[in-house]
Amino acid sequence: MKYGYFDDKNKEYVVERPDTPASWTNYLGDTNYGAIITNNAGGYSFYKSAAQGRFTRLRFNSVPMDQAGRYLYFHDKDSKDFWSASWQPVGKSLEQFKTECRHGTAYTKISSEYKDIASEVSYFVPRGKAYEAWMVKLTNKGKETRNLRAFPFVEYACNWNAGDDLGNLQYTQYIANMSVVDGIIDHGSNINMPEMPEDFQQKDQQRHTFFAMVGAEVSGYDTDRDVFIGRYNGYGNPDVVQKGECAGSLAEGGNPCGVLQTDICLQPGESVEFAIVMGIGSAQKEGAEVKEKYADLSILKNELEELKNYWHSRLEVMQVETPDADVNSMLNVWSPYNCQITYAWSRAASLVYAGVRDGLGYRDSVQDMLGVMHSVPEEAGERLELLITGQASTGGAMPVVKPFAHKPGQEKEPEANEYRSDDCLWLFNAIPEYVNETGNFDFYLKELPYADKGKDSVLGHLRRAIEFNLERSGAHGIPCGLAADWNDCLVLGYEGESVFVAFQLRYALAKYSEVSEKLGLTKEVEWAEQELRILDKSLEEHCWDEDRYVRAFSDKGFRFGAKENEEGNIFMNPQVWAVISGHANREKAEKAMNVVHDDLYTDYGIMLCAPPFEKSDFDIVRAVLFNPGMKENAGIFNHTQGWGVMAESMLGNGNRAYKYYKSYLPAAYNDMAEVREIEPYVYAQSTHSVYSKRFGSSRLPWLSGTATWAYYAATRYLLGIRPEIDGLTVDPCVPDSWEGFKVVRNFRGAVYNISVSNPNRVMKGIACLKMNGEIIEGNKLPVGEEGKEYQVEVIMG
Ligand code: GLC
């Protein structure tokens, strides 16, 4: 079943049926002011942090779903009928209520028509501003004059701390203090306390947000939610909207809301436009400024256009044209957009991440960098530096870095039992990628502080990361798992060993050696190569089991992923990373990848491990707490799928790489949205596997490692366009059914128009490469001149 379609030209996904199987969401704003909006205008807004800066309320996982939100109600003064501009919350019959929702790049537009009144509401955060706008256009499409009242509504949190707001009611029910200044609502909390702008994490401080209407006269207001909704009513039938009259309530304690009232008389064919602006600051100051600024609504309209242009230019850094329309929709818009959102919000703000996790989880955020280096290299560089300063002088990382509170050099060193074994090893993916994208090789020499004390060059930081794992290796010469390796559900014990991390470490040593060689640091090269040989030997001797690599050794002697095991006898991670790290020889690589194909691949993607854990003890594998086939318990864990695509591409198996890529491509499920359930334009953390009765249902959209690796694998390995320090490598690995594809890639300011043809229908290999008509030996395009365009012809064969 289909609920919408991709409008590639406008870079939008259009939801045509509002009764989607799950809330289909979008993100507005940036890391300063963020917001989430669903296809039914549900969602919430936050300042700097969804956990500590949440000032509007959403009841997560509730009934009905995704309420409250940014609602705009209408009341017809003559018929007394009422409805909302989005289908929900009033939920008129879909026979009479026609609606579509266009989710675009950081804006959402909901257009509806009910009884001859057409409404369009565009929601967005003007670039760089700490407020959001709901731009409204109303048109009377009928033959009668219509006397309407509109009521924009938002439900506020009492305290910006999301946990306290919903849980600590004995405190937060006594702190709201609402006022209205010149028709602008002031939402105050703890107003007797001082403001403490320098201490964002202090929740017991005075805070204000404003709610203003521009382009329309305010004829009433309410700020007390209970007055607005009325007893035993819901968002679908608020008292005030039913009656068509605000009560002028001012909440003191209890539950505040923002409601304004405006009267609209529309002649047949007539339209009116107005806007609601809500944001950080007081009604008196910031609210008044905004109201004045947007007295001319065309300013706001221009800001929406600016926002679109800004986002589109970020996406246009790489555009593709392949024979597969689903792949094009994803790679040109949604996949890189998903990467940007994940990079911005880590795992802290969605309809699933409800405000418990805050800041940047180390391992996740370092991986997230890979998806945005090409589109926002400067911003990415700053973030990378922030994360590098989250590494402690021991070489291990702080589990979480909070951008709004991080103090490099002054942070407490993490406790020994807090260290995860994989955290800093992801820097070996992210840092070279940054350097290759920007050409800034000197970055390796830049001095940066450690989180707790001391400082080092970036290369020094990388060395400390390697040393950290080498110093913490176990009985088989394999790095210890510590608090966790990438998989949060394996119980290795602190001294247990992670074969997956061993492959990461191998990758790290190889990269370190490569970079040191370029810097002329012979001793460093020798050191890394020697450690690499020792590690390879341990991997050979202890980790290969007939046709697969085992996953880990627990400190109690249990071998995860060993062939003889009844449960979890094959894990995906070590097989694919044996290839990615360059450890596995061809024969072993093929064997291991064949087991992945035969035992783990399903129509919806590759399972993380199999068979699921059902009888195993919880103190061996925590995944046993999930139902079989879900998440880390033999679910299709999508974070890892890109690695499968990369490994098969590296082996030259374009057919398999593409099959793997397609199996979890969101757009490929647009016509069976009732199975996948979540947004067909977004990646998700996991899909239930064959071991579950809900095979194919996906969970946890937007914020997971999936977005990054899916994009990375497709662009760098399937299409094979890889930035390197001295040029742009072209190394496609495609299905043999493809006759070719095109890519426009902006690399360090030069634009490459790459046209690949595949006359002999091969999967990999280049027979001829030409740039501006001249033959190039090998498969690397030289670095072009900034501002210039280059025509590149590639013939595979
Ligand atoms: C979640 C976590 C990530 C972890 C993965 C596997 O996605 O955010 O850090 O690597 O699960 O357990």
State the DSSP string of 61-116: T-SSTT-SB-EEEEEETTT--EEESSSTTTT--TTT-EEEEEE-SSEEEEEEEETT
Ligand 1 pocket check for 422: Cβ under 6 Å = no
**Residue 493 confidence (pLDDT) above 90:** no
Type of residue numbered 665? L
Total residue length of the chain: 797
Query: Which of 353, 486, 613, 699 is the pocket-test mutation for ligand 1 (most atoms within 8 Å of CB)?
Result: 486
DSSP H stretches of helix in 280-426: 288-293, 297-315, 325-329, 335-345, 362-368, 377-388
Task: Report the distance separating Cα 629 and Cα 611, nearest Å.
Answer: 9
Query: 171-191: per-residue pLDDT in tens?
Result: 999 999 999 999 999 999 999
Cβ proximity of 307 and 129 under 8 Å: no
Task: Report the distance separating Cα 82 and Cα 737, nearest Å.
Answer: 55
pLDDT at residue number 43: 98
Atom of ligand 1 nearest to the CA of 704: 7
Task: Report the distance separating Cα 340 and Cα 27, nearest Å.
Answer: 10
pLDDT at residue number 76: 98
Ligand 1 pocket check for 685: Cβ under 6 Å = yes
Q: Kindly tell me the burial class for residue 638, based on how many C-beta atoms sit within 10 Å of its own C-beta (0-12, 13-18, 19 or more).
A: buried
At 785, is the pLDDT very low, low, confident or very high (cuts 50, 70, 90)?
Answer: very high
Residue ranges per structural domain of the chain: 4-313, 334-718, 721-796
* Distances in whole angstroms, Cα of residue 709 to Cα of each of 124, 362, 369, 644, 661: 28, 16, 10, 10, 11
Question: Ligand 1 centre from 637 Cα, in Å?
Answer: 9
Angle between helix 641-650 and 654-663 (nearest 10): 170
Question: In the structure encoding, which two tokens stand for residue 378, read together?
Answer: 């400067």
Type of residue numbered 150? A
Task: Report the distance separating Cα 257 and Cα 239, nearest Å.
Answer: 14
Ligand 1 pocket check for 699: Cβ under 6 Å = no
Cβ proximity of 423 and 397 under 8 Å: yes
| Beta strands at 552-553 and 497-498: parallel, antiparallel or unpaired | antiparallel
User: One of 19, 78, 488, 603 is an active-site residue; which one?
Assistant: 488
**Residue 457 confidence (pLDDT) above 90:** yes
Task: Report the distance separating Cα 452 and Cα 390, nearest Å.
Answer: 8
Question: Ligand 1 centre from 749 Cα, in Å?
Answer: 35
Question: Ligand 1 centre from 74 Cα, in Å?
Answer: 44
Topology, domain 721-796: Maltose phosphorylase, domain 3 (2.60.420)
Question: Ligand 1 centre from 700 Cα, in Å?
Answer: 12
pLDDT at residue number 355: 81
Ligand 1 pocket check for 488: Cβ under 6 Å = yes
State the average pLDDT over residues 318-342.
98
Q: Kindly tell me the burial class for residue 250, based on how many C-beta atoms sit within 10 Å of its own C-beta (0-12, 13-18, 19 or more).
A: middle
Q: Which helix (H) or strand (E) holds 164?
A: helix 162-167
CA 573 to chain centre: 22
In this structure, the residue with its CA closest to atom 7 of ligand 1 is 704
Angle at 304 between CA 302 and CA 307, to 5 degrees: 110
* Distances in whole angstroms, Cα of residue 326 to Cα of each of 204, 330, 377, 713, 734: 49, 6, 27, 16, 15
Atom of ligand 1 nearest to the CA of 639: 7
Atom of ligand 1 nearest to the CA of 422: 10
Question: In the structure encoding, which two tokens stand for residue 342, read together?
Answer: 């994940």
Question: Ligand 1 centre from 419 Cα, in Å?
Answer: 15
Query: 357-384: per-residue pLDDT in tens?
Result: 899 999 999 999 999 999 999 999 999 9
Question: Ligand 1 centre from 41 Cα, in Å?
Answer: 29
**Residue 87 confidence (pLDDT) above 90:** yes
Give the three-state DSSP class for 418. Answer: helix
Question: In the structure encoding, which two tokens stand for residue 471, read together?
Answer: 């110093």
In this structure, the residue with its CA closest to atom 5 of ligand 1 is 487
Cβ proximity of 771 and 732 under 8 Å: no
Atom of ligand 1 nearest to the CA of 361: 9
Give the three-state DSSP class for 516. Answer: helix
Task: Report the distance separating Cα 162 and Cα 159, nearest Å.
Answer: 7
Task: Report the distance separating Cα 310 and Cα 210, nearest Å.
Answer: 26
Q: Which helix (H) or strand (E) holds 587?
A: helix 586-595
Atom of ligand 1 nearest to the CA of 486: 10
ω before 759 within 30° of 0 (cis)?
A: no
Ligand 1 pocket check for 308: Cβ under 6 Å = no
Question: Ligand 1 centre from 296 Cα, in Å?
Answer: 47
pLDDT at residue number 444: 98
- What is the chain's alpha carbon radius of gyration, rounded to the nearest angstrom? 28
Task: Report the distance separating Cα 273 and Cα 138, nearest Å.
Answer: 6
Buried b (16+ CB within 10 A) or exposed e, 304-324: beebbeebeebbbbbbbebeb
Cβ proximity of 471 and 456 under 8 Å: no
Contacts of 416 (CB under 8 A, 6+ apart): none
Ligand 1 pocket check for 708: Cβ under 6 Å = no
Atom of ligand 1 nearest to the CA of 488: 12
pLDDT at residue number 357: 86
Ligand 1 pocket check for 286: Cβ under 6 Å = no
Give the three-state DSSP class for 701. Answer: strand
The alpha carbon torsion through 620, 622, 623, 628 (nearest 10 deg) reads 80
Ligand 1 pocket check for 731: Cβ under 6 Å = no
Ligand 1 pocket check for 362: Cβ under 6 Å = no
Atom of ligand 1 nearest to the CA of 487: 12
Ligand 1 pocket check for 632: Cβ under 6 Å = yes
Ligand 1 pocket check for 639: Cβ under 6 Å = yes
State the average pLDDT over residues 452-468.
98
Sign of CA dihedral 247, 251, 256, 258: positive
- Do the domains 4-313 and 721-796 sit in the same CATH topology, yes or no? no
Ligand 1 pocket check for 704: Cβ under 6 Å = yes
Which residue's structure tokens are 């403001």? 195
pLDDT at residue number 577: 99
Cβ proximity of 88 and 81 under 8 Å: no
Cβ proximity of 209 and 55 under 8 Å: yes
| Beta strands at 447-449 and 455-457: parallel, antiparallel or unpaired | antiparallel
**Residue 9 confidence (pLDDT) above 90:** yes
CA 313 to chain centre: 19
Q: What is the DSSP string of 232-301?
A: T--TTS-HHHHHT-------BSS-EEEEEEEEEEE-TT-EEEEEEEEEES-IIIIIHHHHHHTTSHHHHH
Ligand 1 pocket check for 487: Cβ under 6 Å = yes
Question: Ligand 1 centre from 337 Cα, in Å?
Answer: 21
Buried b (16+ CB within 10 A) or exposed e, 173-195: eebbbbbbeebbbbbbbbbeeee
Query: Which of 364, 551, 641, 709 is the pocket-test mutation for ligand 1 (most atoms within 8 Å of CB)?
Result: 364
At 419, is the pLDDT very low, low, confident or very high (cuts 50, 70, 90)?
Answer: very high
Atom of ligand 1 nearest to the CA of 363: 9
CATH superfamily of 4-313: Glycoside hydrolase, family 65, N-terminal domain (2.70.98.40)
Question: In the structure encoding, which two tokens stand for residue 491, read together?
Answer: 């119980």
Question: Ligand 1 centre from 300 Cα, in Å?
Answer: 40
Please state, rounded to an integer, the average pLDDT across all residues of the chain.
97
Percent of the chain with pLDDT over 90: 98
Cβ proximity of 131 and 28 under 8 Å: no
| Count of Cβ atoms closer than 10 Å to residue 280 Cβ | 20
At 120, is the pLDDT very low, low, confident or very high (cuts 50, 70, 90)?
Answer: very high
Atom of ligand 1 nearest to the CA of 685: 7
Cβ proximity of 143 and 268 under 8 Å: yes
Task: Report the distance separating Cα 245 and Cα 215, nearest Å.
Answer: 20
**Residue 620 confidence (pLDDT) above 90:** no
Ligand 1 pocket check for 364: Cβ under 6 Å = yes
Cβ proximity of 188 and 179 under 8 Å: yes
Question: In the structure encoding, which two tokens stand for residue 289, read together?
Answer: 């400024």
The alpha carbon torsion through 198, 199, 200, 202 (nearest 10 deg) reads -150
State the average pLDDT over residues 433-459.
98
Question: Ligand 1 centre from 412 Cα, in Å?
Answer: 24
Ligand 1 pocket check for 365: Cβ under 6 Å = no
In this structure, the residue with its CA closest to atom 6 of ligand 1 is 487
Question: Ligand 1 centre from 572 Cα, in Å?
Answer: 15
CATH architecture for residues 334-718: Alpha/alpha barrel (1.50)
In this structure, the residue with its CA closest to atom 10 of ligand 1 is 486
User: How much is the pTM?
Assistant: 0.97
Query: 592-604: per-residue pLDDT in tens?
Result: 999 999 999 999 9
| Beta strands at 750-757 and 220-224: parallel, antiparallel or unpaired | unpaired
Nearest to 665 by CA among 416, 334, 188: 334
**Residue 619 confidence (pLDDT) above 90:** no
Question: Ligand 1 centre from 182 Cα, in Å?
Answer: 49
Give the three-state DSSP class for 507. Answer: helix
Question: In the structure encoding, which two tokens stand for residue 410, read together?
Answer: 């002054």
Nearest to 552 by CA among 570, 528, 534, 576: 570
| Bridge partner residues of 447 (DSSP) | 457
Percent of the chain with pLDDT over 70: 100
At 586, is the pLDDT very low, low, confident or very high (cuts 50, 70, 90)?
Answer: very high
Ligand 1 pocket check for 363: Cβ under 6 Å = yes
Instruction: Respond yes or no: is residue 222 known to be catalytic.
Output: no
Which residue's structure tokens are 């605000």? 246
Q: In what order do the strands lie in the sheet with 727-730?
A: 721-724, 727-730, 780-781
Ligand 1 pocket check for 347: Cβ under 6 Å = yes
